[in-house]
């Protein structure tokens, strides 16, 4: 356990701070209809500021709700974390204005902390993906406990859009991690219940910021290894881990090649008892598979390691590899640019999702869509022509016309 602590060299003076501006503008984009990103930073939402009184009429102004929540969050009031996450997930308009204000406060606070720490962000964001049954929650429970015992504060968040449809696996579900749930140095948040992957991903991105504001220095983001959620998580974290079970065939247990190309560390789970030998074989398979893949980074080659959450073997070594990765990213000034790039990706994802919704719900477009799709299906019109017609109709009805641009 001492090893876990002493090898955690995060404060390097080698790194220069490089991407504050990009982070600031992109992470705030809470609503794609906001006209300019700086508006959020420099103006309080109109609905809140309109009732502002002068000192003469109201000498003791009540503390604004977002300000109060922020103060409680950074003072590490435990209840404030859930309140803040609920606020940033809210779809209520007035609450969204408060959420913007809260996130702006947290981001400013985190920027300050990053600057004070020579440009190194105060948290390490680690994504965990893997097929159902790979042993993710058991690993998080054992690994998370080791980290908290070594003095870290660990937040566990989840990206699982399937849970909102099927009521099925609730990642981050407290019953799956009983010890970590009771641990005061840990915080576990089940998957948000809002619908689409885009919505869930957006909530998770904001929840990461809240947890960082609350002082969690390790943020574990768990996802199911199905659908698109595993790709989404890759763009939310500093490092991506793939957990694979020791059983399976020659096809790398059906794990998509695409995700293997994105991972930074592969952990073959359940390396204990009778599963020790299959686990070693799977490790060899993945090591060979990685050698055949195109090298993604000049500074880091993904590793494959064996772990057992039951016997707790390999956990310290896995943490050492994670710390090494982070230290390398910091040393070569790659961590903040990686985050900036991710924030930009998500800003455009949210804008795209919102604009698609506006387009589909437009009164001149929505009713036309089934007919247009049928025409395209039957080959009466090309897909390009159909898109041109619909977009032309949409553009004609928007308040901004080509002449205004």
Ligand X SMILES: Nc1nc2c(ncn2[C@@H]2O[C@H](COP(=O)(O)OP(=O)(O)OP(=O)(O)O)[C@@H](O)[C@H]2O)c(=O)[nH]1
Beta bridge partners of 239: 126
CA distances from 323 to 171, 303, 326, 330 (A): 25, 13, 5, 10
| Smallest separation, CB 173 to ligand X (Å) | 8
The DSSP H or E segment spanning 223 is strand 218-223
Nearer to ligand X, 123 or 269 (CB): 269
The DSSP H or E segment spanning 329 is helix 315-331
Return the axis-axis angle of helices 197-213 and 65-74, rounded to nearest 10°: 60
Which parts of this chain interact with ligand X (CB under 6 A)?
130, 132-138, 169, 224, 269-270, 272-273, 275, 308-310
How far apart are the C-alpha atoms of 387 and 395, rounded to whole Å?
Answer: 12
CB 10 within 8 A of CB 326: yes
Nearer to ligand X, 307 or 322 (CB): 307
Nearer to ligand X, 12 or 138 (CB): 138
Angle (CA) 314 186 91, round 5°: 125
| Smallest separation, CB 175 to ligand X (Å) | 11
Nearer to ligand X, 85 or 171 (CB): 171
| Smallest separation, CB 102 to ligand X (Å) | 31
Nearer to ligand X, 87 or 134 (CB): 134
| Smallest separation, CB 253 to ligand X (Å) | 12
Q: Is 241 helix (H, G, I), strand (E, B) or coil?
A: strand
- Give Cβ neighbours of residue 120 (< 8 Å, ≥ 6 apart): 10, 11, 12, 15, 114, 330, 335
Nearer to ligand X, 180 or 335 (CB): 180
Rg (CA), the chain: 23
Nearer to ligand X, 148 or 269 (CB): 269
Q: What is the rounded (10 degree) CA torsion for 170, 175, 177, 179?
A: 160
| Smallest separation, CB 110 to ligand X (Å) | 30
The pair phi, psi for residue 8, each rounded to 5°, is -95, 70
| Smallest separation, CB 153 to ligand X (Å) | 22
Nearer to ligand X, 270 or 339 (CB): 270
Nearer to ligand X, 18 or 138 (CB): 138
Q: How many other C-beta atoms can be found within 10 angstroms of the C-beta atom of residue 308?
A: 23
| Smallest separation, CB 252 to ligand X (Å) | 16
How far apart are the C-alpha atoms of 241 and 322, rounded to whole Å?
Answer: 9
How far apart are the C-alpha atoms of 114 and 361, rounded to whole Å?
Answer: 42
């Amino acid at each position: 356990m001492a090893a876990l602590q002493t090898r955690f060299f995060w404060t390097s003076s080698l790194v220069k701070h490089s991407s504050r501006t990009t982070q600031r503008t992109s992470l705030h984009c809470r609503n794609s209809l906001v006209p300019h990103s700086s508006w959020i930073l420099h103006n309080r939402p109109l609905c809140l500021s309109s009732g502002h009184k002068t000192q003469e009429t109201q000498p003791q102004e009540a503390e604004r709700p977002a300000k109060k929540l922020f103060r409680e969050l950074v003072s590490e009031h435990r209840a404030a974390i859930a309140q803040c996450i609920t606020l940033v997930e809210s779809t209520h308009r007035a609450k969204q204005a408060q959420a913007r204000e809260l996130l702006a406060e947290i981001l400013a606070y985190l920027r300050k902390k990053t600057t004070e720490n020579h440009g190194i962000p105060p948290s390490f964001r680690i994504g965990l993906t893997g097929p159902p049954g790979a042993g993710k929650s058991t690993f998080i429970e054992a690994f998370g406990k080791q980290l908290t015992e070594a003095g870290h504060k660990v937040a566990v968040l989840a990206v699982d859009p399937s849970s909102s449809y099927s009521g099925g696996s609730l990642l981050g579900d407290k019953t799956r991690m009983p010890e970590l749930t009771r641990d005061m140095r840990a915080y576990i948040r089940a998957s948000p219940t809002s619908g689409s992957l885009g919505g869930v991903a957006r909530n998770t991105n904001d929840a990461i910021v809240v947890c960082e504001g609350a002082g969690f220095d390790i943020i574990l983001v768990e996802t199911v290894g199905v659908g698109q959620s595993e790709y989404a998580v890759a763009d939310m974290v500093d490092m991506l881990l793939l957990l694979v079970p020791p059983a399976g065939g020659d096809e790398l247990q059906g794990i998509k090649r695409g995700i293997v190309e994105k991972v930074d560390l592969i952990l073959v789970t359940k390396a204990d008892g009778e599963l020790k030998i299959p686990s070693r074989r799977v490790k060899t398979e993945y090591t060979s598979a990685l050698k055949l893949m195109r090298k993604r980074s000049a500074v880091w080659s993904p590793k494959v390691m064996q772990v057992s959450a039951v016997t707790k073997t390999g956990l310290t070594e896995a943490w050492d590899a994670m710390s090494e990765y982070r230290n390398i990213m910091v040393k070569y000034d790659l961590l903040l640019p990686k985050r900036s790039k991710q924030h930009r990706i998500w800003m455009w994802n949210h804008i795209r999702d919102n604009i698609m919704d506006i387009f589909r719900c437009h009164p001149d477009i929505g009713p036309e869509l089934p007919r247009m799709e049928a025409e395209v299906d039957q080959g009466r019109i090309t897909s390009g022509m159909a898109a041109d017609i619909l977009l032309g109709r949409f553009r004609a009805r928007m308040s901004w016309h080509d002449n205004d641009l």
